[in-house]
Amino acid sequence: MSGAIPRHVAIILDGNGRWAKSKGMPRVYGHTMGAKNVETVCRAAWNMGIQYLTMYAFSTENWNRPGDEVSAIMDLLRSYLKTCKKTAKKNNMRVRVLGEKSRLAPDIQESIAVLEEYTRQFDGLNFQIALNYGSRDEITRAVNRIIEDRDSGVLDRNEPVTEELIASYLDTAGIPDPDLLIRTSGEQRLSNYLLWQCAYTEFYFVDIHWPDFRENELRKAVEDYGHRSRRYGKTGEQIVEESSEGQASV
């Protein structure tokens, strides 16, 4: 593959419902096949040299879906968390869950705690699953915890609140910002995903529905990323100069 490999890829896995509908099947079938695709993409990502992968599985807004769809997704999640323990060991993958866990059923919270603890030592792919995740909720929780910690003296009241401090209170603390964000199924919006973390992320939108998004699709997205020029507010000339300086010093 030519070009740079993103260290962290975030995915909004969208289109399970439309994929199922296109096959004359119920939406839940799309979620089942979508869940099956998760491991395939995790392995492909690691084989390509991606170190962090973060998938959006259930948003704070998804509770507004019909009750039977929400229950079916929660059941799929239960079985996914069980298989994930095995595949994480096999693939040496560290799993973390982003989002507000207390609204999830107690048995799901327990499985998450077990999975996070069990995989803590694994040093292959860092895989984050965003569950009951909403970026505004995450930022609001972070601000409230900063206030609590200032009130209780854990944080020094005279120290200013910095970007680093806020980042360290987010669910993604310690995880680098995404380099590339992929959204499947044609929609071009963030849907409350990683708003803080995606300040300088490259976006890639693809029409393919999530259950059909395989290794070759990920490869295309990564190739595309490899040809982007990330300027971070600087000029294109500065970036060329910096990269030639970098090469000269190697």
Query: Closest CB to ligand IPE among 148 and 187?
Result: 187
Under the binding rule (CB under 5 A), the answer on residue 14 touching Mg ion is yes
Instruction: Confirm if 19 and 207 have CB atoms less than 8 A apart.
Output: no
Of the ranges 11-19, 40-48, 110-118, 227-235, which one interacts with ligand IPE (CB under 6 A)? Answer: 11-19
Cβ closest to Mg ion, residue 20 vs residue 50? 20
Residue 48's Cβ-count burial label (10 Å; 0-12, 13-18, 19+) is middle
Q: Pick between residue 14 and residue 137 the one whose CB is nearest to ligand IPE.
A: 14
> Which of 28, 33, 41, 57 is the binder for ligand IPE (CB under 6 A)?
57
Amino acid at 29: Y
Q: Which one, 49 or 186, has the nearer CB to ligand IPE?
A: 186
Q: Does 34 bind Mg ion (CB under 5 A)?
A: no
Residue 108 in contact with residue 77, Cβ under 8 Å?
yes
Binding test (CB under 6 A) with ligand IPE, winner from 46, 58, 127, 225: 58
User: Quick check: 100 binds ligand IPE (CB under 6 A)?
Assistant: no
Q: Could you tell me if 178 and 10 are in contact, meaning their C-beta atoms sit under 8 angstroms apart?
A: yes
Residue 211 in contact with Mg ion, rule: CB under 5 A: no
Per CB under 5 A, does 209 bind Mg ion? no
Under the binding rule (CB under 6 A), the answer on residue 129 touching ligand IPE is no
Say which of 62, 75, 91, 192 is annotated catalytic: 62
Residue nearest to ligand IPE (CB): 17
Q: Which helix (H) or strand (E) holds 182?
A: strand 180-183
Token look-up 């929609």 returns 187
Burial of 123 (0-12, 13-18, 19+ CB in 10 A): exposed
- Residue 61 C-beta: closest distance to ligand IPE, Å: 6
Q: Where are the alpha helices (DSSP H) in 23-134?
A: 27-48, 67-91, 106-119
Q: For residue 203, list its beta bridge partners.
A: 181
Interface with ligand IPE (CB under 6 A), residue from 4, 5, 7, 18: 18
CB of 62 to Mg ion, least distance (A): 9
Three-class secondary structure of residue 95 per DSSP: strand
In the structure encoding, which two tokens stand for residue 115, read together? 């999975």
Give SS3 for 204: strand
Q: Based on the shown chain and the rule CB under 6 A, indicate whether residue 103 belongs to the binding site for ligand IPE.
A: no
Active site residues: 14, 62
- Residues near Mg ion, by CB under 5 A: 14
